[in-house]
Amino acid sequence: MCVNRFGTIVWWQWKWLERQYSFVRLHEFIVMPNHVHGVVEICRSSVRPTVGMIIDATSTVGRGLDLSLRLDEPAVEQKPLSLSNIIGALKTTSSKLIHEHGLPSFRWQRSFYDVIIRDPRALYGIQQYIRENPLKWWRDRNNEEGIFI
């Protein structure tokens, strides 16, 4: 799948979720022409720093307020949010950036479809579905223009 700049924004905001929320673990993810698929794991007890990480003496990963925080401060445990709030954060932040980068008409659909993954076998099947989804785009009911990718 080759994404345009707007799809890239969504991808970066997906990665942002894991940096922003210590209780979020991201798994398989794909940006499709008119939708996304992803697996979000919500960890009930997780403490890890949410500030930028030092790579070497001259570069720091992070931006904005992250750079003003001290890395030697103790990590604070965050209370897990609901999946709806996590996806809401993804939609809100990516929409804002997409609007700023030249597509003011962009809108997400109102809700989202979710499935509770109960075991490793189900996780494997869903991850495989996500990985193979681009191969099936040509026959997707939402591919009204018959676009091949």
The pLDDT value given to residue 65: 37
Find tokens 């940006």 and name the residue: 31
The pLDDT value given to residue 116: 93
Once rounded to an integer, what is the mean pLDDT over residues 119-134? Answer: 94
pLDDT digits (tens, 9 = 90+) for 69-103: 444 444 566 789 999 999 999 999 999 999 999 99
pTM value is 0.73
Burial class (CB in 10 A: 0-12, 13-18, 19+), 94: buried
What number of residues does the chain have? Answer: 149
Q: Is the pLDDT of residue 59 over 60?
A: no
Which whole-number Å values give the CA distances from 24 to 3, 120, 142, in the listed order?
A: 24, 18, 30
How much is the mean pLDDT over the chain? 79
pLDDT band at 68 (very low <50, low <70, confident <90, very high): very low
Looking at the chain, the whole-number percentage of residues with pLDDT higher than 70 is 70
The pLDDT value given to residue 66: 38
pLDDT band at 136 (very low <50, low <70, confident <90, very high): confident
Q: Is the pLDDT of residue 67 over 50?
A: no
Burial class (CB in 10 A: 0-12, 13-18, 19+), 80: middle
Q: Tell how far CA 132 is from the center of its chain.
A: 18
In angstroms, the CA 109 to CA 70 distance is: 39
Q: Is the pLDDT of residue 55 over 70?
A: no
Q: Which domains does the chain have, with CATH numbers?
A: 5-44+80-139 (3.30.70.1290)
The pLDDT value given to residue 107: 95
Q: Could you give the angle at which helices 83-100 and 5-20 cross, rounded to 10 degrees?
A: 140
* Amino acid at the residue 62: G
Strands 59-60 and 54-56: antiparallel
Q: Which of 19, 94, 93, 95 is nearest to 62 (CA)?
A: 19
